[in-house]
């Protein structure tokens, strides 16, 4: 089930948000050792989790997290523009119709096949959301291995500058153009929304 949420409420107030913030802590803090804020020892929540953030969350009907991403408007403070502008050869993209994809998170409990399904479904959902809300492009920051995957998804995507080592990690910034043909471009590369994702997951459990 896909949830699209816009809320600055504390994570304990909503099962889906609570599950998402806990999954972010498990991935970004416990697994990847990011130095980011943790709320109540359980939830990864930073200064960009405010009323302007939009969350796309794939979850079980009971709210159990599968995958998620956060979108930030680039006409306000966002991660690339505020913290990593040095990754861009020119100024970071800023416009009413450009949003930044951040905190793309796949739950650690997923098996390899499930991770691929959730990843592809979330990517397709990001494109559908953009087309439905007049978003012309996304920007993003990614570690080099993930960046190479994003570039290979089939959509129109280009680096915004040369990757750099920052705090011991090779990072790059990119821009993803969204158009009416983007779903077909993704499908040609083998990436489509998985309508049967949740039922397939329960059957395999």
Instruction: Output the tens digit of pLDDT for each of the chain's 205 residues.
Output: 999 998 655 554 588 999 999 999 999 999 999 999 999 999 999 999 999 999 999 999 888 999 999 999 999 999 999 999 999 999 999 999 999 999 999 999 999 999 999 999 999 999 999 999 999 999 999 999 999 999 999 999 999 999 999 989 999 999 999 999 999 999 999 998 754 444 333 333 3
Query: Which residue range forms the structural domain that includes residue 62?
Result: 2-204
State pTM to two decimals.
Answer: 0.91
**Number of domains composing the chain:** 1
- Could you tell me the CATH number of the domain that includes residue 50? 3.40.630.30
**Rounded distance, CA 188 to CA 181, Å?**
11
């Amino acid at each position: 089930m896909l949830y699209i949420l816009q809320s600055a409420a504390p994570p304990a107030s909503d099962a889906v948000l609570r599950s998402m913030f806990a999954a972010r802590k498990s991935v970004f803090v416990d697994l990847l050792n990011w130095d980011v804020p943790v709320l109540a020892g359980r939830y990864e929540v930073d200064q960009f989790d405010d009323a302007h953030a939009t969350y796309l969350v794939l979850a079980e009907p009971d709210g159990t997290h599968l995958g998620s991403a956060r979108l930030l408007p680039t006409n306000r403070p966002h991660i690339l523009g505020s913290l990593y502008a040095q990754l861009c050869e020119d100024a970071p993209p800023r416009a009413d119709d450009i949003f930044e994809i951040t905190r793309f998170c796949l739950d650690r409990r997923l098996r390899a096949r499930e991770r691929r399904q959730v990843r592809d479904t979330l990517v397709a959902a990001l494109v559908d959301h953009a087309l439905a809300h007049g978003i012309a492009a996304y920007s993003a920051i990614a570690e080099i291995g993930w960046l190479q995957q994003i570039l290979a998804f089939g959509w129109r995507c280009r680096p915004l500058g040369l990757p750099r080592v920052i705090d011991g990690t090779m990072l790059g910034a990119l821009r993803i153009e969204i158009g009416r043909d983007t779903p077909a471009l993704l499908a040609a590369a083998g990436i489509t929304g998985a309508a049967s994702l949740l039922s397939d997951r329960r059957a395999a459990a």
